[in-house]
Amino acid sequence: KNEVEQSPQNLTAQEGEFITINCSYSVGISALHWLQQHPGGGIVSLFMLSSGKKKHGRLIATINIQEKHSSLHITASHPRDSAVYICAVRSRHNTDKLIFGTGTRLQVFP
């Protein structure tokens, strides 16, 4: 079992829909990242959080430390949101390396 699991693996939506991507992890963490990866490979950091909730534009990220679960929400989705969204955690145990999920491929159709 992977230490970081994401669901769903693939997601299609119509423009304007509300989207939720889930991330569960099994290790103790000091922080969790949500990352966006477009075709061509470049990774952009969307959020880094260790508790509660963060919002940036149409994106909202939440984390529940007790349940070891995080969600990324996209409100009013748009075709330009089409990308792979990756959850990554930073272990609490004296290391800075990130452990990544396999990603959720999102396609938003007009």
Partner 1 sequence: DTGVSQDPRHKITKRGQNVTFRCDPISEHNRLYWYRQTLGQGPEFLTYFQNEAQLEKSRLLSDRFSAERPKGSFSTLEIQRTEQGDSAMYLCASSLAGRWTDNEQFFGPGTRLTVL
- What Rg value do the Cα atoms of the chain yield, rounded? 13
Q: Is 89 in the site for partner 1 (CB under 8 A)?
A: no
Residue 34 three-state SS: strand
Q: Is 48 in the site for partner 1 (CB under 8 A)?
A: yes
Query: Binder to partner 1 among 4, 21, 61, 72 (CB under 8 A)?
Result: 4
Residue 25 three-state SS: strand
Q: Is 60 in the site for partner 1 (CB under 8 A)?
A: no
Q: Is 65 in the site for partner 1 (CB under 8 A)?
A: no
| 3-class SS shares of the chain: helix, strand, coil, % to 5 | 5, 60, 35
Residues at the contact surface with partner 1, assessed by CB under 8 A: 4, 31, 33, 35, 40-45, 48, 86, 88, 90, 95-103
